[in-house]
Chain A
């Protein structure tokens, strides 16, 4: 069996020897270097573009929106974002012109000889400014999208409540900060365009480049190169870069490479949506939740891009893994004159998780209920119903993860004794927990509409080869898919290979996002492998006249005797029939239903569950917080590869430590001013806490070998667990992340929090 084993990563050798080819490692004959000229203002109109007559413009190729043969937009949901600005500017760093030159240096020089004059308009830079509507930049109220989720009767719920507790929580932008910056190479040919580069979603780019040139499916080829991290940041924006490189390549009739430097990458590409989330919760004296009103505001930035789906996921997760019969969730994504925010691991959930978990801490503190007990009283268990009315019928590991994290960390004992050690000295320790869940796959009817496709074929050498558009971005796609197919066919992991993601060779498996690669596409791969296996089994049965032949350890066997090996049988089949290949498509498990109009039903076929316990030390002189240890338990159904799964959990958890403590973008009139690794701080090895990871396996009957999603869940829990630990250590209840020394100091100075802002005396 390969599943459950820590087999070696398929592309490990190349990554360890420096042989792996990332996009910037590729140099082609006659290749030019592309550069983007961007807007310097957040809002206004282009008055004029002047090309310095003293510069020899024959040295470079320039492209603007008029060079676009198709329509001027990035193909996504609303198609509202132009590839190149025409006259209107909606955010700083908006692409206006493209330059291709013989060297990066030459392109830089040319850019310095272009002068753009603007007529500036007053920009909307924050959620508050957008909602004030003094300026209108989108629709009638600057709102891209709004959702309402309603269950039960909140009025009645608040009427019953012994206490009503309100809280307001602020979450910031966060930069994905993959270590490989974004980049693409476009290669023109007579009637086609090939684009290769760093990406999560080849078929997104395929669609964008097709519409850019009005080309057919076959005329555009998109190839993923080894990709140095994505985390959502290479979901939608690579379509923009690919289109830019392709436009320049088309005009120059030469290959064009565009690689962003770090400053451009941070300044111009999408980030996690910042937000303001308000809770008003009705609670009984025993701690049970009876009503919750939640209002979510996300800053979408200047174009709609993915905001509607980020908001949707945020809204659906905002009640957390807690029962409540009366819930009303309102959610809005607003338009501002800042670069569009987009996909980042968690996709709306980390924002709302910080809010609902801090709200639980606040409720526990105000009621004098133990925070662990409060979670246990309210947690969703099998058979319970979520805010969208989804009954949880399978694979609910909520209780198991909470118990595992609490027991393994010694939470109860440490929580009791920790305050005794805090009386002396300038350092105080604290311990806090968080409990969370994450729906895997697209939200709502997304997967049913997408019908993701993947295939398995047998090579002439008698090996199995997987055909899928899902990408390896470090998380282990290539490895786990091969494990799944090996076990489904009953052959060795070493006899399974996977085709490069190249749109001319692999089908559209949907984007590599939403914790869907293992659970959704892995399942499709498994079904395709099953079909191949069944074809071969029928072939063997006919050939040997053995209807009961089975594949055992790579051998077709009947009556305890080996008839033929898998490889030779497969080769014979191909000799006879020409090829052996099967494709499969995803279909939801039976009974999964979602209503887009009322926003009710099964939002996801299944949820993964997690619990984090964070232990911190706060320096009361400098207000610096050190995360000493995080114990995390995560129910992911089944770990196809335990080491890779733990790697996802640990890496995601550290990104969430950064989200909670360090990572902050500083803005000045709509422009990021700390767009460098010197001043945008991500955790180093010295900031990384000790981590203990417990994988809980509540098998999901419709996942491959029981697997659910793991990619995003780890991003959700660490920030609120750390904030709870800081609360425990210092008494400061910090409602805004990252909890920098400045914010902690401010919260300590306002130690009156938390305080019940509204109490009802229930008759």
Chain B
């Protein structure tokens, strides 16, 4: 099945079985390996991407539903090799340890900040509740998202 969609701002056309998971299309067909598989059943959030403004688990989304959509993955956050504010805040706060949850965590945080410029800590916790991290205890991830949301 031919699918045409936007990935990180660029139009891409792929030919894949309709039920192939978006995660596999990203990782195998497009070689965008930032999104990870941690569980394959929508629990860990490591495969999170933004599709038309909504965070989804790309391990649960068949690619046939992606016709004409716009997908943002972690690779689409930095510009010309420069980290965006959120990535920079993650780096400075120590929000990434092993890094495997980081792409999904950044995506959920990006989506939150797109909708809510100044979230409270509770709103941040809620926004990343679907992204499991085993390293950090979440404290520094929440700190980083708070820092990225600070004005100026």
A: which residues have CB within 8 A of B? 6, 8-9, 11-22, 24-25, 27, 176-181, 226-231, 261-262, 473-476, 643-644, 646-647, 650-655, 676-678, 682, 684-686, 688, 691
Contacts and interface: CB of A to CB of B under 8 A. Distances in A.
Nearest to A714: B137
Which 6 A-B pairs give the minimum distances between C-beta atoms? Answer: A18-B34, A474-B98, A228-B100, A15-B99, A650-B137, A474-B97
Contacts of B83: 13, 16-17
Given A21-B33, A676-B39, A684-B129, 9 more contacts: A16-B74, A16-B106, A27-B31, A179-B38, A179-B44, A179-B100, A262-B40, A473-B98, A654-B138
Contacts of A261: 40
B32 interface: yes
Most A C-beta atoms less than 10 A away, residue of B27, B40, B126, B128: B40
B26 to A, nearest CB: 10
Given A677-B132, A678-B43, A685-B141, A651 B37 contact: no
Nearest to A266: B39
B46 interface: yes
6 contacts: A12-B91, A261-B40, A262-B38, A650-B136, A654-B137, A678-B41
Q: Is the interface of B mostly helix, strand, loop or mixed?
A: loop
A15 B140 CA distance: 15
A352 to B, nearest CB: 23
Contacts of A11: 99
Contacts of B74: 16-18
B101 interface: yes
A688 B102 contact: no
A12 B83 CA distance: 11
Interface of B: 27-28, 31-41, 43-44, 46, 73-75, 77-78, 83, 87, 90-94, 96-103, 106, 124-126, 128-142
Contacts of B137: 647, 650-654, 688, 691
Contacts of A14: 99
A16 B78 CA distance: 9
A475 B99 CA distance: 10
Nearest to A658: B134
Given A8-B92, A12-B91, A177-B134, A22 B129 contact: no
B98 A685 contact: no
A184 B39 CA distance: 17
A261 B135 CA distance: 20
Contacts of A27: 28, 31
Contact of B93 (A228, A231, A643, A678): A643
Contacts, number: 163
A231 B139 contact: no
A685 B142 contact: yes
Contact of B139 (A6, A230, A476, A688): A688
A179 B96 contact: no
- Tell me what chain A mostly uses at the interface: helix, strand, loop, or mixed: loop
A646 B94 contact: yes
A55 B152 CA distance: 65
Given A179-B98, A654-B137, A16 B90 contact: yes
Most chain A beta-carbon contacts within 10 A, residue among B27, B139, B140, B142: B139
Given A226-B99, A229-B135, A650-B140, A179 B46 contact: yes
Contact of A647 (B28, B128, B131, B136): B136
A678 B138 CA distance: 20
Contacts of A179: 36, 38, 44, 46, 98, 100-101, 132-134
A387 B78 CA distance: 55
Nearest to B28: A27
> Which of B43, B97, B133 has most A Cβ within 10 Å?
B97
Nearest to B77: A17
Nearest to B31: A27
B38 A180 contact: yes
Nearest to A474: B98
Kindly name the residue among A262, A655, A678 whose own CB sees the greatest number of chain B CB atoms within 10 A: A262
Contacts of B91: 8-9, 12-13, 16
A650 B98 CA distance: 14
B51 to A, nearest CB: 17
Nearest to A643: B94
A677 B41 contact: yes
A644 B41 CA distance: 31
Nearest to A25: B33
Given A17-B75, A684-B132, A677 B139 contact: no
Contact of A15 (B37, B96, B142): B96
B134 A651 contact: yes
Contact of B134 (A19, A676, A682, A686): A682
A10 to B, nearest CB: 11
A12 B138 CA distance: 17
B38 A181 contact: yes
A685 B92 CA distance: 20
B33 A178 contact: no
A15 B102 contact: yes
A685 B138 contact: yes
B34 to A, nearest CB: 2
A201 to B, nearest CB: 16
Nearest to A177: B134
Given A8-B92, A646-B94, A682-B132, A228 B99 contact: yes
B99 A474 contact: yes
B87 A227 contact: no
A21 B126 CA distance: 29
Contacts of B36: 22, 24, 179-180, 228
A226 B37 CA distance: 15
A180 B98 contact: yes
B39 A677 contact: yes
A247 B96 CA distance: 35
A196 B146 CA distance: 37
B73 A686 contact: no
B32 to A, nearest CB: 7
Contacts of B125: 685-686, 688
A627 to B, nearest CB: 11
A677 B39 CA distance: 7
B34 A677 contact: no
A218 B53 CA distance: 52
B83 to A, nearest CB: 6
Nearest to A14: B99
Contacts of B101: 179
Contact of A677 (B33, B43, B73, B100): B43
Contact of B94 (A6, A178, A229, A685): A6
Contact of B43 (A16, A24, A475, A676): A676
B94 A647 contact: yes
A677 B140 contact: no
A17 B100 CA distance: 11
A221 B34 CA distance: 27
A550 B43 CA distance: 57
Nearest to B142: A685
B43 A9 contact: no
Contacts of A178: 98, 100, 134
Contacts of B139: 650, 688, 691
B97 A686 contact: no
